[in-house]
Amino acid sequence: MTLLRLCTLAGSLALTAPALAQQGTKADAATLAKIKDEGLNRSKVMETAFYLTDVCGPRLAGSEGLARANEWTKKQLTDWGLTKANIEPWGTFGRGWDIDKSYVAMTVPYYHTLIGAPKAWTPGTNGLLKKSVVVVKATTEAELDQYKGQLRDKIVLLSVANAPKPSFEPDARRHSDEELKKMADFKPEAPTTPRPVDAEAEKRMADRKALMAVRTKLADMLVSEGAAAVLSSRGGSDGTFFTSNGAPYAADAKPVLPELEMAPEDQLRLIRLAEAGIPVQLELETRTRFQTQDLKGYNVVAEIPGTDKKLKSEVVMLGGHLDSWHAATGATDNAAGCAIMMEAVRILKATGVQPRRTIRIALWGEEEQGLHGSRGYVKNHFADPATMQLLPEHEKLAAYFNLDNGAGKIRGIYAQGNEAVAPIFQDWLKPFADMGATTVTLRNTGGTDHLSFDAVGLPGFQFIQDPLDYGTRTHHTNMDTYERLPADDLKQASVVVASFVYQAAMRDAKLPRKPLPAAKPEGRM
């Protein structure tokens, strides 16, 4: 541990209770009790989740479902008494895409319906296809040559990289005490400490890049060879399959074939039959639509105005991404996070809180394709990470809180390497120890919208959540539905979020910030 690191740590530990009291307003126990009472006994979080999932439907970037969700959330936030509700464009995204029909079945050697859905941004079949299949297995570009001349007018079956295996572990789990303690005990490495080379991780990355190159060449080959359609699978089990995009969403994207992602059990059955020399025929029809009139992406924003003459121009933000993938209704990813954040502001309005700072909720668009909604918002309002030229609003942001790790209850918060904020968060969590929220970790966590804020030196944080079956069953799959949302977990999370937002809005000082990062010319995070 370097001397600089020791001094920094000593300084953060010296931030005692009296010092904290000078920086902020102590939590009002009566208000926290009201927040708990409203959020646990008169919750509307499951009603909100129902509308976001079952009523609005899948919310793929640029789709009609996302547009419905934008309109509904704007109206709902307004009905709850928030002000300045707006569907705000963040910039250019690309083509929207919707599914009007999807059907696939095996007809020879016998009839059986199959589980699958079109990959996003792939074209439709232009009518019902009745075709034979051919299996293509290639892990190198050289292996593709053996299939030339065999693909015309065929439905191509691609190999399954991760075949289902029996598992004796439950899908869902909660964080153990040992895991939470390990998070709490985490100490960041000194900046000068070189990271050890992870040879296995580097090999996995190299193998992935090589496979992606093969897949790109194969896509071009399938079009030039005149294949009819493609069936693929990225794994899963028990009828669950993972979904993604099969073509770029850019308006000038080059043509690809119709492609369905399949449940691996169905895909593997077709492959086994074909490789045994048994003729296999399929019926397949997809109807998809591209929306090219409006290429913009949007975020939904609304506010609870601040009341303090000096502090009301400062803002505490909370949010989650509203878009989802399309094979299900995006319940855990991320209707749960949006429903909790909406419930948090509803609770604050219902309890009559008069925040000193303005509270602003943001429901992000186009997160799944690269955090586009939050990145665009940060660039428009705060700073461009490529130049780090700060806009006036940069100074006014007190904090941003994010939720996007499934539907599990909150167990604590990632401090994102911000040592000065850790004791503040530990204090804020004390009223929720009996609800399982106790842990503050200095660990960074990635993959979601708080990174857009962190990238320009703003205090952005993601909560720690119980994983449940997020990584094993629902994340980017056809099983991400309302049934995966445990009501008690969503209620607990709503109360914790409302409390954090309230306390950030009431304290005298904004939350401490890390040093400003250097500009990144490509805007990478």
DSSP letter at 432?
A: G
Handedness of CA 415, 370, 296, 79 (dihedral sign): negative
- 28-93+295-506 belongs to which homologous superfamily? Zn peptidases (3.40.630.10)
> Checking phi first, is residue 86 left (phi over 0); if not, alpha (psi -120 to 50) or beta?
beta
pLDDT score for 25:
54
Answer for the pair 322, 338: CB distance below 8 angstroms, yes or no.
yes
pLDDT score for 26:
61
* Three-state SS sequence of 132-164: EEEEECCCCCHHHHHHCCCCCCCEEEECCCCCC
pLDDT score for 193:
63
CATH fold group of domain 97-169+178-291: Glucose Oxidase; domain 1 (3.50.30)
- Give the residue among 6, 27, 51 at the shortest CA–CA distance from 331: 51
Distance CA 348, CA 496 (A): 12
Distance CA 271, CA 289 (A): 30
pLDDT score for 192:
64
- Domains in the chain: boundaries: 28-93+295-506, 97-169+178-291
pLDDT score for 20:
40
pLDDT along the chain (525 residues), means of 10: 36 39 62 97 98 98 98 98 98 97 98 97 97 94 92 97 90 97 91 73 84 89 96 95 90 91 98 98 98 95 98 98 98 98 98 97 98 98 98 98 98 97 98 98 96 98 98 97 98 98 97 96 62
